[in-house]
Amino acid sequence: MAEFRIFPDIRLIVGKADDIGLENGIEISFCKSGICEYAVGNEYYYLTAENCIILRRGADRESRISYSSDYCGISLLIDSRYNGKAFEELLDMSDILRNMQSCEQCIFSADDNIKRLSSEIYDTFSTSMLRIKVLELLMIMGEKRCTAGEKSERIRKIGSFVCKNLCEHYTIAKLSEIFAIDRTTLKILFRQTFGCPVYTYAKNRKMFRAAELLRDTEMKIIDIAEEVGYCNASKFSGAFRDVMGIAPKTFQMERKNTRKYKNRTISAEFAY
């Protein structure tokens, strides 16, 4: 992980950031590869390759982040108390923040400009170039309108239902019947809300839950597999590798070794 303070109230993180240290503000993240799970209260959202998330963070919204082993991406962290004047003649940050704060979270596919900028930011360590690229990215992101639809509460209930019943398989047709919402609307809104289709959502949650157990307990892999609904260890291993980018045994060994060492962080403070 590398962290840069681009402007007084704006930080850039390149790579994984398990603890971003932003109590109140806006996070803008782009995923180049892998998967990132956001646990916001009792809800889960998934940022996958070539997608973006705009997430409002606050004291009333406890958030946790987990990453697949192959995750690569960038995050911009904007303090909600932003009052910097470093580029007020170029961008109206008050208006940008107001637009992005209109919804608690928003996941969307990155367009070509966002992909290009994010890739250039990921590969750049020049102070001046990073600032220019970040300003350009903020300008684009500030035009996004994240609005909550009238069916969003029902979609979130469907997400919670799926998480509470991970060992059961619910089809779109069945969920549509249970929650009285047509199938097409369910498919579209579920993906827009949580970042992936229903089946993928359940699979992602199972594997991130398995990763928690592998990391934090001494449970055997076969027992963890059964805990998340897999009777076949081979199928569990394949599913875990698909989501987390690594075999469960390797993941378990690496996490145990990691506990012995402190994470190394590159930090850069830019002069103004």
The dihedrals phi and psi of 9, each to the nearest 5 degrees, come to -115, 15
Whether 22 and 131 share a structural domain: yes
Distance from C-alpha of 82 to C-alpha of 84, rounded to nearest angstrom? 6
Whether 63 and 170 share a structural domain: no
Is residue 10 predicted with pLDDT exceeding 80? yes
Task: Give the residue with greater pLDDT, 115 vs 103.
Answer: 115
User: What is the average per-residue pLDDT within 61-70?
Assistant: 87
Whether 101 and 200 share a structural domain: no
Whether 108 and 240 share a structural domain: no
Query: Residue 265: pLDDT band by 50, 70, 90 thresholds?
Result: very low
User: What is the average per-residue pLDDT within 179-190?
Assistant: 94
Please, which residues have CB within 8 angstroms of residue 217's CB and are 6 or more apart in sequence?
none
Whether 173 and 214 share a structural domain: yes
Whether 63 and 171 share a structural domain: no
Residue 247 covered by a domain: yes
pLDDT at 125: 82
pLDDT at 272: 37
Whether 69 and 179 share a structural domain: no
Could you say which of 118, 147, 176 is where a domain stops?
147
Could you tell me the CATH number of the domain that includes residue 58?
2.60.120.10
Residue 267 covered by a domain: no
User: What is the average per-residue pLDDT within 8-22?
Assistant: 82
pLDDT at 61: 66
Residue 76 covered by a domain: yes
* Least confident residue range of 57-61, 72-76, 156-160, 257-261: 257-261
For CA atoms 264, 270, 271, 272, give the dihedral sign: negative
Task: Evaluate whether 28 touches 76 at the Cβ level (below 8 Å).
Answer: yes
The pLDDT tens digits for 193-226 are: 999 999 999 999 999 999 999 999 999 999 999 9
* Least confident residue range of 29-38, 65-74, 123-132, 175-184: 123-132
The owner of tokens 């047709």 is 173
Residue 7 covered by a domain: yes
Query: How many percent of the chain have pLDDT more than 90?
Result: 59
Residue 170 covered by a domain: yes
Question: Which of 26-35, 78-87, 122-131, 250-259 is predicted most confidently?
Answer: 26-35
For 105, the 3-state DSSP assignment is strand
Buried b / exposed e along 47-63 (16+ C-beta atoms within 10 A): bbeebbbbbbbeeeeeb
Q: Please give the structure tokens belonging to residue 173.
A: 């047709």
Whether 229 and 200 share a structural domain: yes
Whether 167 and 220 share a structural domain: yes
Residue 269 covered by a domain: no
Task: Give the residue with greater pLDDT, 140 vs 236.
Answer: 236
Whether 41 and 109 share a structural domain: yes
Question: Which of 25-29, 54-58, 76-80, 235-239 is predicted most confidently?
Answer: 235-239
Residue 171 covered by a domain: yes
Whether 143 and 156 share a structural domain: no
**Structurally, how many domains does the chain consist of?**
2
Mean pLDDT of the chain: 85
Residue 270 covered by a domain: no
Could you say which of 147, 168, 184 is where a domain stops?
147
Query: Residue 44: pLDDT band by 50, 70, 90 thresholds?
Result: very high
Distance from C-alpha of 252 to C-alpha of 51, rounded to nearest angstrom? 28
Identify the domain containing residue 76 by its residue range.
2-147
Could you tell me the CATH number of the domain that includes residue 170?
1.10.10.60
- 87 CB-contact burial (10 Å; exposed 0-12 / middle 13-18 / buried 19+): middle
User: What is the average per-residue pLDDT within 58-80?
Assistant: 86
Could you say which of 147, 164, 179 is where a domain stops?
147
